[in-house]
Amino acid sequence: MAASCDLVDVDPPELQFPFELDKQISCPLRIANKTERTVAFKVKTTSPKKYCVRPNNGVVRPRSASVVVVTMQAQIVAPPDLQCKDKFLVQSVVVDDGLSAKDITSQMFLRDENNMVEEVKLKVSYVMPPEPAMEIAEESDIPKRILVPMQRILDNGRSGSELSSGNVSLRSAEMGTELGSPLGRFVRNEDMLKTASPVVETRVHAGPDEQYLELSALVAKLTEEKKSALEQNRKLREELELARRQASQHQGGFSLAFVLVIGLLSIILGCLVKK
């Protein structure tokens, strides 16, 4: 039921905002003129920095209505238990018939013996936002709803894992070609869903926990493969470094033996020449 005075009806009688953090929320306010006279109105609030009212004043012709939009600025902190103490005040007064909105002044809403100003007080309340209805995906949406989130997770988790050495290939896991991989099961499920009934399709999309477990298993598998590949690369580097050292020692030993043999031959030749 609309809040009412002798001049106007204000609807709704309480401003309700579906509260969400970091989001501007608007609530329409309808001001209806019940009289045969022109009525000017003005909207005030106890928290002018928190709310934006457009227009915050105006003129309503006889037996007509005007709509005001109240917008709550984006909030970064939720109030305890969604409790709100903010209030709005709608003032109305009879004015000359030829008056327009740009002619409205604050003095028109000052009460005195010759100026009857009526007021309607409105409370503000916060309510929980409505939950979105569960949508049943069409067949054409199945690859996008399943494979695209999977690819995004893979892209985020494979930084630095494009390894060219060893026997581990993450690309095959990304494409779901490894036997028994979760993504491979998703790809096979896509073919199965093309011929499945709508009931089966609904059950697949109504089980986010199962999909979450599949995603977690795939991420864990890729992480383990990445660790294994890095370990293999480390071992290969150690073996290569060891081979280099052995080759260097072998080359050094050969040169020293050659020098000793030459020296020994030189001494023998010297002795023979002296004799």
Joined tokens for residue 243: 């081979």
pLDDT over threshold 50, residue 237: yes
Beta bridge mates, 118: 92
Neighbours of 211 (CB within 10 A): 17
Task: Please choose, from the candidates 96, 72, 70, 84, the residue with its C-alpha nearest in 3D space to the C-alpha of residue 10.
Answer: 70
Cα 114 versus chain centre, distance = 57
Q: What is the DSSP string of 78-109?
A: PPGGG----EEEEEEEEE-TT--GGG--GGGG
Pairing of strands 51-54, 8-11: unpaired
For residue 38, give Cα distances in angstroms to 65, 147, 271: 11, 62, 137
Dist. CA 5–CA 60, nearest whole Å: 15
* 0.75 surpassed by pTM: no
The neighbour count for residue 185, using CB atoms within 10 Å, is 15
Instruction: Tell me: pLDDT of 206 over 50.
Output: no
pLDDT of residue 153: 54
- Structure letter (DSSP) for residue 126: E
Contact 225, 168 (CB under 8 A): yes
Whether residue 96 is predicted with pLDDT greater than 70 in this model: the reply is yes
**Which pLDDT band, with edges at 50, 70 and 90, does 205 fall under?**
very low
- Summarised one tens digit per residue, pLDDT across range 36-68 is 999 999 999 999 999 999 999 999 999 999 999
For residue 207, give the nearest of 154, 145, 151, 156 by alpha carbon. 145
Q: What is the mean pLDDT of residues 178-195?
A: 45
